[in-house]
Amino acid sequence: MNRRLIAASAALASLALLVTGCGADTEAPTDTETTAGGTTAAETTPAGDTGSTEPKGELTLAGWSLNTTPEFQTLADGFNATNPEYTVTVSEYQAGNDYDTQMITDLAAGTAPDLYIMKNLVNFYTYAAGEQLVDVSDVAGTLDNESVSAYELDGATYAIPYRQDAWFLYYNIDLFEQAGVEVPDGSWTWDDYAAAATELSEKLEGDTKGAYTHSWQSVIQGFANAQSEGADVLSGEYDHLKPYYERALQMQADGAMEAYGTVTTNSLSYQSQFGTQKAAMLPMGSWYIATLVAQQASGEAEDFAWGIAPAPQFDESTAGTDNTPVTFGDPTGIGINPAIEDEKLDTAKAFLSYVASEEGAKALAGIGITPSVMSPEVTDLFFQLDGIAEDELSRWTFENRTVMPENSVSQHTAEINTLLGELHSAVLSDSEGIDAAIENAENRAKNEILNR
């Protein structure tokens, strides 16, 4: 036994030495500065154009989950087709919060790519205030793009948006017909929505619910903050949240939607709840359009007719197709790493102009992304996706909206967000009453965050 063990560990050791040896070989070329993304279609410059000059090198752009998120490569390809001095290549990062964890460490150590994405405005503040973004006010000045203003800090612009998601109301036309309830006509307030959800739950068979509210705090607070008169989370006043939470609690109690506890403990996904017809309505961001289309085509989602309607409104003053409904969504932007080599800066800025141009917008719309620039042509391209809703209201909804940024740009945003996230889960899980929760949040916001 003993001898066998020694022999075994010796074998293990030699194996280890062998593999470390191999490892050294394979690692050598990656030791260089470039955080090269492995899958690079951009390497191949468009052939045929004999007049084109050879690119001088690469500009790296951070992206995530490249297999399932084609937008980065689409932008890079579209830009590279114009024969810039430097070709844009995409480096792969992780999705979600991990993206920022990786980016913060990379920036801190000076190993970050030349161009990187601002997933939302909370993180934008971190990067801009940390002086990790080049001032791109000159690029912003040349653009006719509303979302650009979101990236201002102290009078300068630090990132350029290429994408502007917005929240809509998705509804299942088949289920509405089954229940004999009128489909949304674009004029709904939240009370109309709640009433319809309750009615649908009663009339639909089995466990099918009228609506599905995902567990994210945005689903309730995003609308409350965008639609309530004078609401500002940085003021430390949160009374405006009350009607929104009371309505949600009432809907839970009436069985008009799955309870928050059921959603979190069963890790329910909105794609599954809406896509497999467990719920007739779903307030969700515009990114879900492309997903739903793809899932219906692959059979992962069931086959049913659906449409999008404007998000329900606070009151009638903004509701209806003769108004512009108010909804929310943070832009997604791209910024330049100040560590970029000087000679590459102009190309990087040209890339930013491209991503926020109508040309870039068309490329994005073609793959189901809601671009930051809107035009009838962009909408046409978007609605050419196979299997997308074809009714008038869906098109109208896509085009006509006032999108309020979900987050404000401030040093307190992240902390306030955490605080309100705690309020969200405490209230919806019935662990704390809405009044007590609001008072608690207001005290903590003022004492520990805003007046620090």
Partner 1 sequence: MTENLVLKRIGKVLVYILLVAAALGILLPFYWMVMSSIKTNNEVFTVPIKWWPDIPQWQHYVEIFAKSDMTTWLKNTLLLSVVVTFMQVLTGSFAAYGFSKVRFPGRDVLFLAYIGTIAVPWQSYMIPQFRLLSDMGLANTLWSIIALQAFGAFGVFLMKQFFETIPEDLSEAARLDGLSEYGIYARIMMPLSVPAIASLTLLTFVTTWNDYLGPLIYLRNPDLWTIQLGLRTFVSQYDADYALIMTGAVLSTLPIAIIFLLGQRYFIEGIASTGLKG
Partner 2 sequence: MLTTVDTSRPPTRRRGALKLHNTLQGWSFILPNFIGFGILTLVPVIMLFYYSLTEWNAFGKATFVGLENFSRLLGDSSFWTALYNTGYYSVFHIPLTLAAALGLALLLNTGIKGRGFFRTAAFFPYITSIVAIAVVWNQIFSPEYGPINQALRFFGIADLPGWTASAQWSMPAVIIVGVWREMGYYMLLLLAGLQTIPAQLYEAAKVDGASAWQRFRNVTIPGLRPTLFFVTVMLTIGSLKVFDLILVMTNGGPGNSTLVLSQFIYRKGFEENQFGYASSSAVVLFFICLSITLLQYFWNRRQEK
Residue from the set 49, 98, 138, 380 that interacts with partner 1 by CB under 8 A: 98
Identify what 271 binds: partner 2, partner 1, none; CB under 5 to 8 Å per kind: partner 1
Q: What is the DSSP string of 152-180?
A: EETTEE--EEEEE--EEEEEEHHHHHHHT
d(CA 143, CA 164) in angstroms, rounded, equals 15
Residue 267 within binding range of partner 1, rule CB under 8 A: yes
Q: Quick one: residue 430, left, alpha or beta (phi over 0 = left, psi -120 to 50 = alpha)?
A: left
* Closest to 166 (Cα-Cα) out of 315, 336, 329: 329
450 phi and psi, to 5 degrees?
Answer: -70, -40
Identify what 100 binds: partner 2, partner 1, none; CB under 5 to 8 Å per kind: partner 2
Identify what 268 binds: partner 2, partner 1, none; CB under 5 to 8 Å per kind: partner 1
Burial (CB count <10 Å: 0-12, 13-18, 19+), residue 199? middle
Q: Which helix (H) or strand (E) holds 197?
A: helix 190-203
d(CA 159, CA 203) in angstroms, rounded, equals 49
Residue from the set 58, 100, 106, 330 that interacts with partner 1 by CB under 8 A: 106
Helices 71-80 and 345-355 sit at what angle, rounded to 10 degrees?
120
Query: Residue 269 corresponds to which tokens in the numbers above?
Result: 């996904």
Residue 41 within binding range of partner 1, rule CB under 8 A: no
Cβ proximity to partner 2: between 133 and 309 the closer is 133
Least Å distance, CB 210 to partner 1, is 15
Least Å distance, CB 222 to partner 2, is 18
Tell me which residue has tokens 């329910």. Answer: 268
Residues at the contact surface with partner 2, assessed by CB under 8 A: 97, 100-101, 104-105, 107-108, 126, 129-132, 259-262, 264-267, 414-415, 418, 421-423, 425-426, 428-432, 437, 444, 447-448, 452
Cβ proximity to partner 1: between 234 and 414 the closer is 414
DSSP-derived pairing of the beta strands 209-211 and 279-285: parallel
Identify what 70 binds: partner 2, partner 1, none; CB under 5 to 8 Å per kind: none
Instruction: Give the bridge partners for 51, in sequence order.
Output: none
Cβ proximity to partner 2: between 117 and 319 the closer is 117
- Dihedral sign (CA 429, 441, 445, 214): positive
Cβ proximity to partner 2: between 26 and 266 the closer is 266
DSSP-derived pairing of the beta strands 57-64 and 86-93: parallel
Residue from the set 171, 288, 351, 398 that interacts with partner 1 by CB under 8 A: 288
Residue 119 within binding range of partner 1, rule CB under 8 A: yes
Residue from the set 135, 192, 237, 300 that interacts with partner 1 by CB under 8 A: 300
**Cβ–Cβ < 8 Å for 295, 387:** no
Residue from the set 291, 318, 321, 440 that interacts with partner 1 by CB under 8 A: 291
x/- site string to partner 1, residues 163 to 192, per CB under 8 A? ------------------------------
Q: How far is the first Cα of the chain from the last one, in angstroms, to the nearest whole number?
A: 66
Cβ proximity to partner 2: between 126 and 323 the closer is 126
Query: Residue 278 corresponds to which tokens in the numbers above?
Result: 């467990």
* Closest to 287 (Cα-Cα) out of 257, 258, 329: 329
Amino acid at 8: A
Identify what 170 binds: partner 1, partner 2, none; CB under 5 to 8 Å per kind: none
Cβ proximity to partner 2: between 146 and 415 the closer is 415
Identify what 250 binds: partner 1, partner 2, none; CB under 5 to 8 Å per kind: none
DSSP-derived pairing of the beta strands 331-336 and 160-164: antiparallel
Residue 68 within binding range of partner 1, rule CB under 8 A: yes
Identify what 452 binds: partner 2, partner 1, none; CB under 5 to 8 Å per kind: partner 2
Binding region for partner 1 (CB under 8 A): 1-2, 5, 12-13, 15-16, 19-20, 22-23, 26-27, 30-31, 35-39, 64-69, 91-96, 98, 101-102, 104-106, 108-111, 119, 207, 258, 262, 266-269, 271-272, 275-276, 278, 285, 287-288, 291, 295, 299-301
